[in-house]
Amino acid sequence: MRKLASLLLVSLLIINITQFTVFASISVGVKESDWIQYNVTYTGTPPEGHGVTWAKMEGFKVQGAVITVRIISKLSNQQQENRTMELNLATGHLVDAFIIPAGLETGETFLDENKGLVTINGTILRTVARRERTVVYVTTPETTTYWDRETGVAVEGFATFTNFTMITKTEETNMWDHTAAIQDRVICHTLLGIALAVSLGVLAFVVLRGRK
């Protein structure tokens, strides 16, 4: 019975270590005061429902890997839509992948519940809202999407379909003013995850020795 109890305890500790490691590897790069605006243009004839010409993300609320965001969209007929969406970077509930984990490098992956693990194809410098930023990108046969690496926020996108092409570009944002703070937060989360994993490992070792 003691061996079984010890085995169960170690198994639980391993699960917890894995969970902490996964959490530490998912860095959220947005904060509540952030906002970003986009211009959307088209070539060809987009189908009905693709009439968005401008959009803004704001009102971020962050709890762990869960992000709530308000999206304001202006349509070609001058109507305005307001939606509040909840994203979860841990489960891959990204909707249209407006936001991905911050700090990803070329070859690393993020989870998309509709596509599985998505691999970052490359990292380049790009001018976004008049500032030079390091961006990561993913390319498919129909789309190319760029995300700011430090915040994980989509900054540019190209989508080519049968009858039309949609181009989305960042117009304005206030996010570039706090990227140093984001870097500090990424480092803090990583160190916290490592510390928790080490602590749980030491606890497991002590428990097993005590059972002998």
For 53-73, write each residue's pLDDT tens digit. Answer: 999 999 999 999 999 999 999
Q: Where are the beta strands (DSSP E) in the chain?
A: 36-44, 52-63, 66-75, 80-88, 109-112, 116-119, 122-128, 131-139, 143-148, 154-160, 164-173
User: How many residues belong to the chain?
Assistant: 212
Q: Label residue 181 left, alpha or beta by phi (over 0 means left) and psi (-120 to 50 means alpha).
A: alpha
Residue type, 157: G
Q: Where are the domains of the chain?
A: 35-174
pTM score of the predicted model: 0.74
pLDDT in tens, 9-60: 444 344 344 343 344 469 999 999 999 999 999 999 887 766 899 999 999 9
List, in order, residues 6 or more apart from 46 with CB less than 8 Å away.
163, 164, 166
Q: Residue 132: what residue type?
A: E
